Amino acid sequence: MTETVAHLTVDGAPADLAGMPDDERLLDTLRWRLGRKGTKEGCRTGDCGACTVLVDGRSTLACLTLTREVDGSDVTTIDGAARDAELSRVTRAFAEAGALQCGYCTPGFVVALAGLLKERGRAAPLEELLDGLQGNLCRCTGYAAIVRGVALAREEAP
């Protein structure tokens, strides 16, 4: 197997990675090489959204992305919420709305919504934001609290 080198910025910090297998997923790089345990592993097939991160500001499923494919990119994880105003705002809105139960899916929802709000802005209709989150699944709830969290985050967006 071929090894690769990747240079990323992860949550504002440079990460120079060497000796990775060519087929290493970004999810594994983040969790096991860089200790970003907030990015969750769910299905590893792109069906649940638990591993959502922002790559150069766009929502990306880390389980379907090879690390070598994002060489030179800026990656933001839920662990970077303290330094990202939109992630912080969405996190607060979800907490205020009680939009979590076990919390396993929450990082993926929060990061995906932050990406949508950055891309589409506060003026985006609630339905459009909810449609953008269709790839994020929660096994614990009926989604009512998540919808309230999305609405609250949208209201608070700059």
Q: Dump pLDDT digits (tens) for 38-86.
A: 999 999 999 999 999 999 999 999 999 999 999 999 999 999 999 999 9
**Model pLDDT, residue 157:** 57
Q: Which CATH architecture has domain 3-77?
A: Roll (3.10)
Residue 2 pLDDT: 83
Q: Which CATH architecture has domain 81-156?
A: Orthogonal Bundle (1.10)
- Quick: pLDDT tens for 99-158: 988 889 999 999 999 999 999 988 899 999 999 999 999 988 779 999 999 999 998 655
Q: What is the pLDDT of residue 158?
A: 56
Q: What is the DSSP string of the chain?
A: --EEEEEEEETTEEEEEEEEETT-BHHHIIIIIS--TTS--S-SSSSS-TTEEEETTEEEETTS-BGGGGTT-EEE-GGGGGG-HHHHHHHHHHHHHT--SS-SSHHHHHHHHHHHHHHH-TTS-HHHHHHHTTT---SS--SHHHHHHHHHHHHH--
Mean pLDDT of 7-32: 96
| pLDDT score of 39 | 97
| Mean pLDDT, range 18-43, rounded to an integer | 96
Is residue 1's pLDDT more than 90? no
Query: What is the predicted pLDDT for the residue at 141?
Result: 78
- Enumerate the domain spans of the chain: 3-77, 81-156
- Mean pLDDT on 10-26: 96
Local confidence band at 4 (pLDDT 50, 70, 90 cut-offs): confident
